[in-house]
A and B are shown apart, each in its own frame.
Chain A
């Protein structure tokens, strides 16, 4: 009976030591820490820009019935667009004012054609030769990469198919390019 009580006492002391040190040791050894939270902010400004190196399309002297492609094998002019609004945009083209040609001679805008020779964009580019019209035409529809600020490059070729009934002479066009969020 005495041996049993002594054993109980030893176990009791040991148990109490375990309990106390289990609380004490982490308390003493636990490293201190102090934190300060701060919030940071920045406003990235929007960009919606288009640059054209040359918008005068000069075909020179063209004879009736001739088809003239400017800078065949390469491109005639370049436009660069930058937009970072995170929204879809469209690049459009249209003839500015009237066709430059012999006085008193009117030829339909469809006689003039354009095509994208090269683009580095991954969006939707109009395929092949396209006829000019009185209304702005979609040249290119942006891709998500274009919409976060990546510069878009579009290089163009131009062609004039002068009708046989038209007067021969010097022909040219002034072309407007626009960047818009409206299709």
Chain B
């Protein structure tokens, strides 16, 4: 039914393209910082900023040579929860403290806080050399405001940082 030579050529093309794609770099890594963001103990209505690496908490490193724009986003998968009590996602904020080697755009501008949300929130949009192999470093710190009235307990939250080519 299908001519053998044509089929072989098409399969070969497919393999070549898949192989070529596998050599492209597109990665995000936690360059500096801890795997947990621990705000320690806090009182009701207290606000705390966490910067355990000097003036920041995390440094994320991004490398892409896909020649396509990429986006750095953050999503609070689960708000701070303790038994049936929770702290709203927007009570935690991220702040871009510094961008190293990046030519892109910080959504809230450097030093300005942005609220966490249970949907993905854009932090950074790449541009120029960000897309051709330069490693961009983004340093983040975080704020947490405990509500005026909040039940005592140990609260945990799951946060996802995302490097993606879809806005």
Q: Do A and B bind each other?
A: yes
Q: Could you list which residues of chain A lie within 8 angstroms of chain B, going by C-beta atoms?
A: 8-9, 11-13, 15-17, 20, 23-24, 27-28, 31-47, 84-86, 147-150
Given the complex of chains A and B, what is the CA–CA distance between A15 and B58 in angstroms?
51
- A84 with B1: CB separation less than 8 A: no
Q: Which of B131-167 contact A (CB under 8 A)?
A: 142, 144, 146, 148-166
Given the complex of chains A and B, what is the CA–CA distance between A33 and B162 in angstroms?
7
- B10 with A44: CB separation less than 8 A: no
A sample of 7 more A-B contacts (CB under 8 A), given A24-B14, A36-B29, A147-B151, is A12-B1, A32-B26, A35-B163, A37-B159, A40-B142, A41-B36, A43-B155
For B9-26 the 0/1 string (1 means CB < 8 A from A) is 011011001100100101
Q: Which residues of A contact B41 (CB under 8 A)?
A: 42-45
How many residues on B have C-beta within 8 angstroms of the other chain's C-beta atoms? 63
- B40 with A42: CB separation less than 8 A: yes
Given the complex of chains A and B, what is the CA–CA distance between A31 and B6 in angstroms?
29
Given the complex of chains A and B, what is the CA–CA distance between A18 and B41 in angstroms?
60
Give the 4 A-B CB pairs with smallest separation, nearest first: A31-B165, A46-B152, A149-B149, A42-B39
- A37 with B153: CB separation less than 8 A: no
- A44 with B40: CB separation less than 8 A: no
Q: Which residues of B contact A24 (CB under 8 A)?
A: 13-14, 17
Given the complex of chains A and B, what is the CA–CA distance between A20 and B82 in angstroms?
51
- Per DSSP, chain A at the interface is mixed
- B30 with A36: CB separation less than 8 A: yes
Given the complex of chains A and B, what is the CA–CA distance between A12 and B37 in angstroms?
58
Q: Which residues of A contact B44 (CB under 8 A)?
A: 44-45, 47, 84, 149
For B61-97 the 0/1 string (1 means CB < 8 A from A) is 0001010101000000100101101010000100000
Given the complex of chains A and B, what is the CA–CA distance between A38 and B85 in angstroms?
21
Q: Which residues of B contact A34 (CB under 8 A)?
A: 26-28, 162-164
- B26 with A45: CB separation less than 8 A: no
Shortest distance from the beta carbon of A178 to any chain B beta carbon, whole Å: 20
Q: Do A40 and B151 contact each other (CB < 8 Å), given the known contacts A20-B14, A27-B21, A32-B26? A: no
Q: Do A38 and B153 contact each other (CB < 8 Å), given the known contacts A12-B1, A15-B2? A: no
Given the complex of chains A and B, what is the CA–CA distance between A156 and B44 in angstroms?
27
Given the complex of chains A and B, what is the CA–CA distance between A42 and B35 in angstroms?
14
In the complex, whether B101 has a CB less than 8 A from a CB of chain A is no
Given the complex of chains A and B, what is the CA–CA distance between A11 and B6 in angstroms?
13
Q: Which residues of A contact B166 (CB under 8 A)?
A: 31, 33
Which of A28, A35, A84 is within 8 Å of B151, CB to CB?
A: A84
The chain A residue with its CB closest to the CB of B156 is A41
Given the complex of chains A and B, what is the CA–CA distance between A144 and B19 in angstroms?
61
- B151 with A149: CB separation less than 8 A: yes
Which of A8, A31, A35, A39 is within 8 Å of B157, CB to CB?
A: A39
- A28 with B17: CB separation less than 8 A: yes
Which of A15, A27, A42, A85 is within 8 Å of B146, CB to CB?
A: A42
- A44 with B155: CB separation less than 8 A: yes
Q: Do A33 and B14 contact each other (CB < 8 Å), given the known contacts A13-B6, A84-B44? A: no
